[in-house]
Chains A and B, each alone.
Chain A
Amino acid sequence: MIKIKNVTKIYKPETVALKNCNFRIRPGEFVSIVGQSGTGKTTLARLIIAEEKPNKGSIIVGGWDISNIRSSDVPILRRQIGVVFQDFKLLPRKTVYENVAFALEVAGAAPKKIRNIVPQALKIVNLENKIDRFPNQLSGGEQQRVVIARSLVHRPKIIIADEPTGNLDSINVQEIIDLLLKINKFGTTVVLVTHNRDIVNSLKKRVITLDEGQVISDQEAGRYLL
């Protein structure tokens, strides 16, 4: 599903964020990418959604080499990848329903399709009874679930979540992780970027560990090493 081959990413002028990374993720896998702050985890996520381009190596998503993707093709890629990023929150002036519908609207979906899909997505994250609330009327965990619902509307084959539990307390963290596991059970590939030791250890799924931009370990049913 995702192939990372000899990927190096250098930010101008000289920050080497990733150095010669190699791994592949199969369809339906649940993979955690861990590592200390500043080791290139977010950079890796941004490369996979073509928000950045690698300086060396290639990135293949669903058989499609996106290393030199044309900017007009980026939206096509983005509709196949659900994104839960730290800095892409909800729009404060829109309700839960509108926030989720927004992702479909801007992709040119028909109103009928929107009315059909949005409630389904909100049902998956268990928020079907709070669709008319505004983001500031929700808890942190609920907000993050809306973000996940929004990432699901294009029925993506891959979900990339970059520190989705960053600002949450432990009960909410577990909620989010359970939700990602549930989505993974539907067959969606899940890539979870985190530095939360407890989560990683309890998941008992594959763990890829980065250190200073390099893959230093890649284990099935792994543990948090650092």
Chain B
Amino acid sequence: MISFYRALKFAFQSFKRNVWLSAATILILVLTLFSVSLVGTINFIGDRAIRSVKDKVDLSVYFYPEVGEKEVQAIQARLQTLPSVKNVNYIPKEQALEEFIEKHKDDPVISETLEILDDNPLGATLVIQAKDIEKYSEILNVMSDPNYSDMIYEKDIEDYQTIIRRLTNMTDRIYQITFVISMIFIIIAILVVFNTIRITIYTHREEIGIMRLVGATNWFIRGPFILESMIYAVISTIISVGILYPILRLVSPQVTTFFEGYNLNLANYFSDHFIEILGLQLIVALVLSMISSMIAVGRHLRA
């Protein structure tokens, strides 16, 4: 315990003695964390956007007006037993008509036609959501059962495929670019921390020599340098999160408008998952800086 305290004191002293070096190291670490967070955020936005588009996909099966309620509900029941189906919504004729009128109330031709017709020309509808977007073909197969063919007037899948493909392409592209950038930063950060620790070891070579001769253990000699790199990690995490939050707040409204209706609020997400984000950044920073300081210490403080 007393050794830990002394190692910490030693680490802080050398941190202060090379302020500019420390500042540069922290700057690089902050940039690295920042680019890693950017990758994370983009991944998150893309994922959310695609998922919410996928949620909107459904399959509507329109029945002929003659088909009775019981028959449709039997089919509904059957569909609900399928493992690929998430839920099936039954829309009776009357509701279908109301929705139709509502949807076309600005179209005078349709409104007039509907007024001429006494009977409800529409049949019941089943709106089916699959558990997964790939499962729709399976459900369509089931509905192609020849027994059903004279009951079903039309099957219509709302086609979001192109949107999804475009979104996926776009986010994949951005993700790849930011991923490469943060990889570059990670490598630079490892090198910079390595070099900083090496220089610190060099500035303390006399102390280290004496420590070895008077019987300090290897870990006592190495500890301060690894602690120093941990101090860098902690400080840069705090700075990085401190910069990230205002920026997210700033861009959050734009992102929300851009993905309108997808319920995407970055700033809120950040506040709700603050501990996780902080923890993740800290882990990234600690792993990075400790790997490089361990290498530096291993190479320059042979036992």
A38: interface (CB < 8 Å): no
**Nearest A-chain residue to B7, judged by Cβ:** A106
User: Are B2 and A72 in touch, CB under 8 angstroms?
Assistant: no
User: Are B206 and A91 in touch, CB under 8 angstroms?
Assistant: yes
Min CB distance, B15 to chain A, in Å? 16
Number of interface residues of A (CB under 8 A): 28
Q: Which of B209, B214, B218, B221 has a CB less than 8 Å from the CB of A150?
A: B214
A154: interface (CB < 8 Å): yes
Q: Given the interface contacts A72-B217, A154-B214, does A108 sit within 8 Å of B206 by beta carbon?
A: no
A179: interface (CB < 8 Å): no
A60: interface (CB < 8 Å): no
Min CB distance, A125 to chain B, in Å? 16
Whole-angstrom CA separation of A77 from B303 in the bound complex? 14
Number of interface residues of B (CB under 8 A): 18
Q: Which residues of A contact B206 (CB under 8 A)?
A: 89, 91
Interface hit among A15-23, A78-86, A202-210: A78-86
Question: Chain B contact residues: over half helix, strand or loop, or mixed?
Answer: helix
Q: Which residues of A contact B207 (CB under 8 A)?
A: 91, 102
B108: interface (CB < 8 Å): no
Min CB distance, B267 to chain A, in Å? 48
Q: Which residues of B contact A87 (CB under 8 A)?
A: 209
Min CB distance, A121 to chain B, in Å? 12
Q: Given the interface contacts A78-B214, A79-B215, A103-B214, does A108 sit within 8 Å of B220 by beta carbon?
A: yes
Min CB distance, B217 to chain A, in Å? 5
Whole-angstrom CA separation of A50 from B21 in the bound complex? 35
Interface residues of A in 95-129 (CB under 8 A from B): 102-103, 105-111
Q: Which residues of B contact A76 (CB under 8 A)?
A: 215
User: Are A108 and B210 in touch, CB under 8 angstroms?
Assistant: no
9 A-B pairs closest in CB distance: A78-B215, A71-B303, A106-B216, A79-B215, A103-B214, A75-B215, A108-B3, A75-B217, A106-B211
| Residues in A lying within 8 Å of B, measured CB to CB | 49, 71-72, 74-79, 83, 85, 87-89, 91, 102-103, 105-111, 150-151, 153-154
| Besides A85-B213, A107-B216, A109-B2, 11 new A-B residue pairs in contact (Cβ under 8 A), listed by A number | A72-B218, A75-B215, A75-B217, A79-B215, A87-B209, A91-B207, A106-B214, A107-B217, A151-B214, A154-B214, A154-B215
Instruction: Show 16 A/B contacts (Cβ-Cβ < 8 Å), sorted by A.
Output: A49-B213, A72-B217, A75-B217, A77-B215, A78-B213, A88-B210, A89-B206, A91-B207, A102-B207, A103-B215, A106-B216, A107-B215, A109-B2, A150-B214, A153-B214, A154-B215
